[in-house]
Amino acid sequence: MGQKGREIVKMNVDELIDLLNKALADEWLAYYQYWIGAKVVKGPMKDAVIAELTLHATEELSHAELIATRIIQLGGTPVLSPAEWLRITGCGYDAPTDHYVEEILNQNIKGEQCAIRVYNSLLDLTREGDPVSYNMILTILSQEVEHEEDLQALKEDIDLMLMKRQ
């Protein structure tokens, strides 16, 4: 841990590390939910949906990378065991037991909306006290906003395709 880097943090670092670890658990669960969803999804526009879910999976993993790196910079330990993910997660995990494309999209939209809430509140928390975390969180939040929009746009395309015209 860089000494000066930690000195400039003007907030409760232990509390921030706990919240970042919750977000780290969320990111791993989001990664797997997208990754396995892309494997099992069935229905209209499947190929476009698989491409988007697969890309989002890699982006969630990159968020996990950013958060784990920041936790270490702050002097904390990133969550060490997958068993901990479900215990500390803020956004949970929705197993894609129904493989139909719209159901999987709905589950992932719900996950993105939770992520947007979580990162938006982390922005408020770090705005004054930790500009480095703030900057990272803003980067992640921007991508979660993009994810929600991508999924909702796909859903809209599917709805339009399935709509019966008189």
- Contact residues for Fe ion (CB under 5 A)? 27, 60, 63, 144, 147
Asked if 144 interacts with Mg ion (CB under 5 A), we say no
Q: Give me the helix-helix angle, 101-126 and 13-40, nearest 10°.
A: 170
Does 150 bind Mg ion (CB under 5 A)? Our answer is yes
Smaller CB distance to Mg ion: residue 130 or 144?
Answer: 144
Q: Is residue 38 within 8 Å of residue 154, measured between CB atoms?
A: no
Minimal distance, residue 9 CB to Fe ion, in Å: 23
Dihedral sign (CA 52, 38, 144, 142): negative
Q: List the single partner that 130 binds among Fe ion, Mg ion, none, CB under 5 to 8 Å by kind.
A: none
Stretch that binds Mg ion, among 14-22, 32-40, 41-49, 147-155 (CB under 5 A): 147-155
60 binds Mg ion (CB under 5 A): no
Q: Helix 131-162 to helix 46-73 angle, to the nearest 10 degrees?
A: 170
Distance, in Å, from the CA atom of 97 to the CA atom of 114, rounded to the nearest integer, reads 20
Q: Can you give the binding site for Mg ion, defined by CB under 5 A?
A: 150
